């Protein structure tokens, strides 16, 4: 029988979460902090990480949290760890981090303690960063708590600050021609909250990239594009594969393992120099 998540959140807890978000938001750094981030070819970048939380079908409590680390620029998995978890916090729009980040943080801390040489130099997160109702999404939350550069990579547009998936937005998407093309997500406040990115030549839907922590938007967009063999950046894709495979094995589900990668597929050449220009996860 499927388990259900905890009931509605109390006003007291919601108020605590808002205060915690505000406190941590003050620590977000939205500029490049490492030399490799400022290098057109990302020289010095050797390891990129991805995280994912996958749910057991029909169950809002049991899930699997995964962390993978890939070599860069080869994008081959050099470390992976998954664990089944029981989510105690309910899903509340705008507060995804309080439901998922504690488990992801544990995985990062475990790697830092046991195999520090494999620590990623940047984390790609399936969710938003500053593109968020209060400017502090799951990628910001995880970045501040781990003190790692983080990038928010969402599959759907979070409609905040006047951003809408309307006819004009769809027309801008249509004009994205090749992998690496992008356009800014300019909110009604006049702030650029992220970029819509065509991550692969064959992709018909953009990714929505936003700053998480300790990295500029320009570098975040370039690196996300460089990590794409397919539409979804490889660190996030491999973390998703890892978590779903762990669930399959843990619950004894039949079926073949999920495909890891196609060796013939190689990441396209990175853009050089300056680039041009779930409910959405948040």
Report d(CA 152, CA 143) in Å as an integer: 10
- Strand order of the β-sheet with 192-197 is 77-86, 62-71, 47-55, 123-125, 150-154, 207-213, 192-197, 182-186
Query: For residue 40, what are its two tokens?
Result: 């057109």
Pairing of strands 62-71, 77-86: antiparallel
pLDDT surpasses 60 at 266: no
Q: Please determine, for residue 262, whether its predicted confidence score (pLDDT) is greater than 80.
A: no
Q: Between 131 and 258, name the one with better pLDDT.
A: 131
**Residue 280 pLDDT level (bands cut at 50, 70, 90):** very low
- Whole-angstrom distance, CA of residue 222 vs CA of residue 2: 41
Kindly list the structural domains of the chain, giving each domain's residue range(s) and its CATH number in brackets, ordered by start: 44-251 (3.30.2170.10)
Say how many C-beta atoms besides its own lie within 10 A of residue 272's C-beta. 9
Strands 47-55 and 123-125: parallel
Question: Count H helices, E strands: the chain?
Answer: 7, 8
> Can you tell me the mean pLDDT for 35-64?
95
Residues ≥6 apart with Cβ < 8 Å to 15: none
Question: Is pLDDT at 269 greater than 80 in this prediction?
Answer: no
| Other Cβ atoms closer than 10 A to 5 | 14
Using one digit for the tens of pLDDT, what is the confidence trace for 133-167?
999 999 999 999 999 999 999 999 999 999 999 99
Average pLDDT, stretch 113-129? 97
pLDDT band at 279 (very low <50, low <70, confident <90, very high): very low
| Nearest to 243, CA basis, from 125, 88, 84, 118 | 84
Instruction: Point out which residues pair with 124 in neighbouring strands.
Output: 50, 151
pLDDT at 6: 53
Instruction: Give residue 277's pLDDT band: very low, low, confident or very high (50, 70, 90).
Output: very low
pLDDT at 171: 97
pLDDT for the residue numbered 149: 98
| Predicted TM-score (pTM) above 0.85 | yes
Q: 39 — phi, psi (to 5°)?
A: -85, 130
pLDDT of residue 282 exceeding 60:
no
Instruction: Say how far apart CA 67 and CA 246 lie, in whole Å.
Output: 12
Per-residue model confidence as pLDDT tens digits over 215-254: 999 999 999 999 999 999 999 999 999 999 999 999 886 6
């Amino acid at each position: 029988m499927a388990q259900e998540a905890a009931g509605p959140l109390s006003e007291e807890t919601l108020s605590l979460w808002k205060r915690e978000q505000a406190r941590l938001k003050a620590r977000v750094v939205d500029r490049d902090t490492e030399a490799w981030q400022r290098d057109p070819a990302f020289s010095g970048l050797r390891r990129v990480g991805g995280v994912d939380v996958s749910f057991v079908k029909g169950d809002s409590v049991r899930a699997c949290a995964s962390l993978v680390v890939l070599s860069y620029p080869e994008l081959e998995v050099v470390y992976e760890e998954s664990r089944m978890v029981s989510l105690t916090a309910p899903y509340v729009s705008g507060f995804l981090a309080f439901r998922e980040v504690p488990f992801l943080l544990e995985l990062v801390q475990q790697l830092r303690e046991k195999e520090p040489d494999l620590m990623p130099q940047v984390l790609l997160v399936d969710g938003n960063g500053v593109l968020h109702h209060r400017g502090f999404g799951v990628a910001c939350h995880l970045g501040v708590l781990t003190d790692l550069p983080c990038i928010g990579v969402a599959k759907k547009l979070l409609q905040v600050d006047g951003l809408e998936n309307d006819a004009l937005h769809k027309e801008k998407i249509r004009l994205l021609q090749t992998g690496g093309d992008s356009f800014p997500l300019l909110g009604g406040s006049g702030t650029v909250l992220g970029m819509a990115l065509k991550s692969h030549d064959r992709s018909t839907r953009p990714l929505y990239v936003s700053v998480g922590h300790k990295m500029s938007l320009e570098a975040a967009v370039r690196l996300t594009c460089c990590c794409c063999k397919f539409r979804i950046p490889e660190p996030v894709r491999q973390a998703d594969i890892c978590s779903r495979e762990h669930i399959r094995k843990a619950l004894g589900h039949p079926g073949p393992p999920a495909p890891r990668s196609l060796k013939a597929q190689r990441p396209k050449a990175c853009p050089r120099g300056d680039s041009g220009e779930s409910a959405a996860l948040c």
